């Protein structure tokens, strides 16, 4: 081979080496410092519970601390946009709650696109929800509740974990389905919403099982129905809304995302470690005891889930003219 040919081959080899070096370096050196995991809601809510169950073992797997930070405000928009603008290096992640895909349709200040601006990491849990009422209402069945709600009209209120969360959108969907008109009262997370429901400041709430189970089992709140298509053994004897209103079904979910542009090697590493953590027997047992269903999967599956949720709730929000003040 001529010297010029050898030079050309060497140049091609060097170019190929340079092309793969960043990916190789990202994979071998990540993480080299603490990872920050932002939670968009107050401590004690669903997204916070999942983040704090996952983070210690995720830190162990990664060999670096995973620091959970609650950044509350605007129904989750503040934390979400902080992550969207963060460096795409795998060190700033978001605990994406179910309103992640709906907020751009509800909040004018939400400038992010849930599909374009984020790299999906893993959908980790799903949860059916329960319709909870305060005992002061004097109702114990779904039929009794709907009858009372129709009689009281806008004189009845319901709590949400924040605008655009499942506790808000599913309640609005149920209002349309049942022909009732309670007024939403938005909180900065499921825990403060539940506290006011327990105190009787609001009349009802559609809450995830992790929030509903303890209070319903203790008799402090009455679970009149669940939002899944079938009943759950977690609340024996409580019917599904679908039994009265055919076709009604909804669920909550939590996953993790990173800023768009995060290297695929980092995405794959985080996906694998997150799936390993939530399927570990001790973590799985804790999550399932709280009413969560494990939903480990690939980044591609989670990406399709986010797209579908965005389309679904965007349609509901437009048709029902749902707004958040």
pLDDT for 19: 47
* Angle in degrees, 0-180, between the axes of helices 264-279 and 3-29, rounded to the nearest 10: 30
Number of domains in the chain: 2
Last residue of a domain, one of 220, 243, 266: 243
pLDDT for 14: 52
Is the model's pLDDT at 283 over the cut of 50?
A: yes
Q: What is the rounded distance in angstroms from the CA atom of residue 17 to the CA atom of residue 21?
A: 6
Q: Note the Cα 155 to chain centre separation in Å.
A: 30
pTM: 0.81
Do 141 and 236 sit in the same domain of this protein?
yes
Please indicate, yes or no, if residue 16 is contained in any of the structural domains.
Answer: no
Neighbour-count burial of 221, counting CB atoms closer than 10 A to its CB (0-12 exposed, 13-18 middle, 19+ buried): buried
Do 269 and 208 sit in the same domain of this protein?
no
pLDDT digits (tens, 9 = 90+) for 286-317: 999 888 999 978 999 999 999 999 998 998 89
The answer to whether 93 and 257 have CB atoms below 8 angstroms apart is: yes
Range of the domain at 156: 129-243
Q: What is the rounded distance in angstroms from the CA atom of residue 263 to the CA atom of residue 285?
A: 32
How many C-beta atoms lie closer than 10 Å to residue 325's C-beta?
A: 5
pLDDT for 325: 64
Is the model's pLDDT at 60 over the cut of 80?
A: yes
Which CATH number is 191's domain given?
A: 3.40.190.10
Last residue of a domain, one of 194, 216, 243: 243
pLDDT for 5: 53
Where do runs of H (alpha helix) occur along the chain?
3-29, 46-62, 77-85, 103-106, 142-152, 166-178, 190-198, 209-217, 264-279, 281-289, 299-320
Strands 118-127 and 293-294: antiparallel
Neighbour-count burial of 318, counting CB atoms closer than 10 A to its CB (0-12 exposed, 13-18 middle, 19+ buried): exposed
pLDDT digits (tens, 9 = 90+) for 70-90: 999 888 999 999 999 999 999
Which CATH number is 261's domain given?
A: 3.40.190.150
Tokens 């709590």 sit at which residue?
159
Count, residues in the chain: 325
The mean pLDDT of the chain is 90
Secondary structure of 30-48 in the HEC alphabet?
Answer: CCCCCEEEEECCCCCCHHH
Q: What is the CA radius of gyration of the chain?
A: 23
Neighbour-count burial of 4, counting CB atoms closer than 10 A to its CB (0-12 exposed, 13-18 middle, 19+ buried): exposed
pLDDT for 108: 85
Please indicate, yes or no, if residue 13 is contained in any of the structural domains.
Answer: no
Please indicate, yes or no, if residue 168 is contained in any of the structural domains.
Answer: yes
Please indicate, yes or no, if residue 18 is contained in any of the structural domains.
Answer: no
CA angle 81, 84, 87 (to 5 degrees): 130
pLDDT for 310: 94
CA angle 243, 306, 267 (to 5 degrees): 135
pLDDT for 20: 45
């Amino acid at each position: 081979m001529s010297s010029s040919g050898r030079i050309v081959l060497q140049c091609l080899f060097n170019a190929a080496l340079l092309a793969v070096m960043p990916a190789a370096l990202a994979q071998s050196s990540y993480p080299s410092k603490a990872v920050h995991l932002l939670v968009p809601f107050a401590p004690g809510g669903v997204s916070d519970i999942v983040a704090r169950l996952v983070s210690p073992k995720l830190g162990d797997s990664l060999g670096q601390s995973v620091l959970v930070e609650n950044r509350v405000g605007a129904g989750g928009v503040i934390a979400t946009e902080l992550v969207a603008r963060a460096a795409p290096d795998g060190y700033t992640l978001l605990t994406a709650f179910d309103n992640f895909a709906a907020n751009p349709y509800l909040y004018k200040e939400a400038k992010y696109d849930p599909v374009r601006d984020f790299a999906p990491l893993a959908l980790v849990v799903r949860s059916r929800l329960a319709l909870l009422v305060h005992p002061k209402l004097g109702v114990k069945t779904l039929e009794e509740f709907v009858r009372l709600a129709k009689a009281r009209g806008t004189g009845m209120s319901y709590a949400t974990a924040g605008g655009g969360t499942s506790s808000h959108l599913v309640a609005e969907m149920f209002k349309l389905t049942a022909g009732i008109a309670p007024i939403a009262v938005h909180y900065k997370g499921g825990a403060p919403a539940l506290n006011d429901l327990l105190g009787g400041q609001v009349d009802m709430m559609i809450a995830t099982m992790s929030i509903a189970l303890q209070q319903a089992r203790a008799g402090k709140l009455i679970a009149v129905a669940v939002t899944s298509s079938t009943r759950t053994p977690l609340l024996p004897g409580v019917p599904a809304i679908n039994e009265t209103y055919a076709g009604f079904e909804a669920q909550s979910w939590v996953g993790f995302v990173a800023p768009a542009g995060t290297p695929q090697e980092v995405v794959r590493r985080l996906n694998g470690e997150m799936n390993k953590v939530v399927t570990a027997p001790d973590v799985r047992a804790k999550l399932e005891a709280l009413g969560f269903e494990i939903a480990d999967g690939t980044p591609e599956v989670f990406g399709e889930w986010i797209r579908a949720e965005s389309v679904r709730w965007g349609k509901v929000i437009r048709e029902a003219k749902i707004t958040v003040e």
